[in-house]
Amino acid sequence: MSLINKIRCALTLGQGVLVNMPDLDPSIDPYAQFKAWFKSAKDCGIVLPESMTLSTVDEEGQPSCRVVLLKELSAEGFVFFTNYASDKAQDLTTNPKVALTFHWNILQRQVRIKGVVEKISSADSNEYFQSRGRGSRIGAWASHQSSVIASRSILEDNVKHCTEKFANKDVPLPEFWGGYVVKPISIEFWQGKADRLHDRFSYVRDGEDWRVDRLSP
């Protein structure tokens, strides 16, 4: 992290840790609140502020967590991409209920989201896929995500094969790869405070509106 970004990080402490955060206006859409916090995370130089922990549950009730990247905040919700044959995708097929967590440590902020996932359209998945670097697109074809492989050389051979297969061609969207949107039913904003007297505001979906409550830390 550069000196300038370190200074920015220090200055942003005053936004919540040292200064009271005002009560959130119930009339403000939680998406707007998220966008404001996300911008603060980017502006202070946090590496990959779009990183979010995705929690799923398999058919046996075993939870799993992993970090994925937020690629879009659409009108419907939070969008990420993956291999549809991966472990996470299998969990989502069994149980579409998920949780997301964003943690921006230097700001002492978390956002916790509960919701339900749906696949996005193939057209939208393809639009994002074609924006990726060629190497990443070939990698999506070469990796059978979450499957067991005997050695890295197998993966490298797959990459070589796919590179030759798509030589001098566009790399198409694989049928087994695409995006999901997490449609939130609740969004909680958590601001760290001194003496662990944190500020917590919970938005809960209520029809077409949101109910907002302050929660005890």
Q: Which residues are catalytic?
A: 196
The secondary structure of residue 29, as a DSSP letter, is: -
Calpha distance 42→31 (Å, rounded):
16
Here the tokens at position 122 are 């193939």
Here the tokens at position 65 are 């967590």
- The radius of gyration of the chain from alpha carbons, rounded to an integer in Å, stands at 20
Calpha distance 217→198 (Å, rounded):
5
Calpha distance 171→136 (Å, rounded):
10
Alpha helices, H only, the chain: 3-12, 30-43, 87-94, 122-129, 134-142, 152-165
Calpha distance 152→4 (Å, rounded):
39
Residue environment code for 30-68, b if the CB has 16+ CB neighbours within 10 A, otherwise e: bbebbeebbebbeebbbeebbbbebbbbeeeeeeeeeeb
